[in-house]
Chain A
Amino acid sequence: MAAGSLKWFVAAGVAALLSACGGGTGGAPAAPTETALSAQASLGEQIFKDVSLSASDRQSCATCHSADTGHAGPNDLPAQFGGALLDQPGRRSSPSIRYLASNTAFHFDSEGTPTGGFFWDGRATSLQDQAGRPFLAANEMANPDLADVIAKLSRAAYAAQFREVFGADIFSRPDDAFARMTLALQQFQREDLRLRAFTSKYDEFLRGKASLSEQELRGLALFNRADKGNCAACHPSAKASDGSHPLFTDFSYDNLGVPRNPALAHNADPAVFDLGLCAREGGDMAARTDLCGAFKVPSLRNVALRKVFFHNGRFKTLKDTLTFYVQRDTNPEKWYPLNPDGSVNKFDDLPAAYKANVNTSEAPYNRGPGDVPALSDAEIDDVIAFLATLTDAVR
């Protein structure tokens, strides 16, 4: 069939291009397999790695979504820099884009819980929608407009392939070309096995082919126990009844009262607050002030590879992050600055009006100053050992 031979041609072409450019980050060279990418997806892969599509000529999707860290931020900066000179600071950390194929557009479920959506505040409705926005964001790839992006695309090494797949005249219709470009990126994210590998030790354990060490098993128990970590309440760890492996997120939102991160540029102004869901672009959630300060629950798969945690990159190690979870309320002075009168300015990254939105009812947030934290230091280490089993095997 013509499509089949095209696939092989494209795969061969991609391999040649990759070896020629020597660009793009990590991963073993893609060996042709039975599950080779479709034409659209292989284009998407090339677009994903193409730094020429940015104003700086040095930034591609892969730059901020690095395979080494589970397709999340490549370093321990709280937010990446973008713009034409790569000097424009970002506002939030780069989330991992793995395991998003089953996520839906933002909606309220049957119980009224906000669910779904792409980005930390769920403002994009699909992978395709999300893929297009960084191209035009001033502090990211900073292209002036859509037509500019397409002009750059038409000069890319794979432009001929693009024409072949989407039509010879596609570049004369920039709006259509942009839609096709983001479609290709979506298709790549859906098909690429590295973005949905399920090859972690935990996956093998669920398949009955591997066993967890004693410490890892203890960590899993603490993760699941409602009276200890209670992590599984938002990061489900059990297989679904249809046999599908857990994604360690329920795609809902939560307000944890994460401490303000002074390392973020926009936080220099004490009047500026990143309010998450209620303040998102488009203003559709402006009336829901009860959701101010809520951000998406990310997947914990490959969390051990990440270099920063939470939407504002406030913590850089899992140890600090987990200690914050269980000691936020028992030892608030460890995490928040003091007021002039000596009291702790708890939830300092929220204006006073919205501090009540923070989750203080579910374990482990339901303790008070002086209480014993839900997890001891050794137990945190156990949980970290378990979380390390969620790292996909390198392919």
Chain B
Amino acid sequence: MRLVLATSAIALAPASAFAVDYLSAEQAAKLMFPEAERFESHDVSLDAAQMQKLDAAGVRARSARWPVRVAQRGASTLGYVVVDEVVGKFELITYAVGIGLDGAVKQVEVLSYRESHGHEIRLPAWRRQFVGKTAASPLHIGDDIANISGATLSCSHVTDGVKRIVAVVDLARRSGALP
């Protein structure tokens, strides 16, 4: 695992706009649901039973708390956007997953990527592989998701992350935690 020797709290001030931060969470959400009027924040909290269910399904839940942005137009819900961070090899990769009402992945966007290798995961070709995946899909490198040569860790960690988010949102919808 990464041993981070020194880190400080999340910065609230804007960092460099162009460096390796490609999209903000808000921009990504708007891309995924252009017809949405607003995004409401819901925090999904999984209880112990739900965490166990996830583990049984082969998904490591990682944390019990998941902030979800619910895309809404008027009174109806269009879908959900979850922003998450995973480690590539050394650096954090920030990405967003957009899920439709049917529980299938609508879009995946990479918000920031800082690793020296594997920038190709930002390409539409790689992200397109996730469109239509559900909680029932394997979502596994070498299975239904192709790897980027030389960036195996970034690819598998992001794929695991998408799988996790899809499973969490699916559970939350079934339990009524999400509109």
Report A-B touching, CB under 8 Å: no
Chain A contact residues, CB within 8 Å of chain B: none
